[in-house]
Amino acid sequence: MTRILKEVAIEGCRTTALFNTGSARNYALKVVTKGVTRVIVKPYTVGIGGKMITVREECILRGEIEGLEFAMKAIPVDELGSVNGHTIGAIIGATAMEEWEIRIDMAKAELDLSGLRRREFIEY
């Protein structure tokens, strides 16, 4: 499992995101998802931060990292905790990273955004 912290914008709100290949799902603080349409889902239980939570709603969020846009389905949560002194506003899991070709460069311990850059539309 590899985890990288990076500043991103989720729905225009600047926050610290944890890019976590050990998480299949994506999570965002409810304050970050404020004003976003939420979809009621059949309740299911997930473990996060050593706690079990029951998920009853999900939402689609627009994000931006280094000026590159992406979208993800996320679970709104009250709290995500902190890592290395940084309060986490979102967890971006393996499914979103795979969909948007966001990779982790293990040698440099940083994000490789070349796949996301390749998706950028260039108009001539």
Task: Give the Cβ contact number of residue 109 at 10 Å.
Answer: 10
Angle at 1 between CA 21 and CA 76, to 5 degrees: 40
- What is the spatial distance between Cα 45 and Cα 58, in angstroms, rounded to a whole number? 13
Which stretch of DSSP H or E encloses residue 61? strand 51-65
pTM for the full predicted model: 0.90
Domain tally, the chain = 1
**How confident is the model over 59-112, as pLDDT tens digits?**
999 999 999 999 999 999 999 999 989 999 999 999 999 999 999 998 888 999
In a domain, 29, yes or no: yes
* Res 1 pLDDT > 60: no
How far from 94 is each of 22, 36, 111, 123, CA to CA, in Å? 7, 23, 13, 30
**Hey, is 52 helix, strand or coil?**
strand
Asked if residue 5 lies in contact with residue 84, where contact means CB atoms within 8 angstroms, the answer is yes
For 37-69, write each residue's pLDDT tens digit.
999 999 999 999 889 999 999 999 999 999 999
**And the tokens for 22?**
């050990």
Which has more pLDDT, 84 or 121?
84
What pLDDT is recorded for position 120?
Answer: 65
Please state whether beta strands 3-10 and 13-20 pair in parallel, antiparallel, or not at all (unpaired).
Answer: antiparallel
Which CATH number do you get for residue 24? 2.40.70.10
- Within-domain flag for 124: no
Domain assignment present for residue 108? The answer is yes
Residue 123 lies in a domain: no
Q: Which domain holds residue 109?
A: 3-118
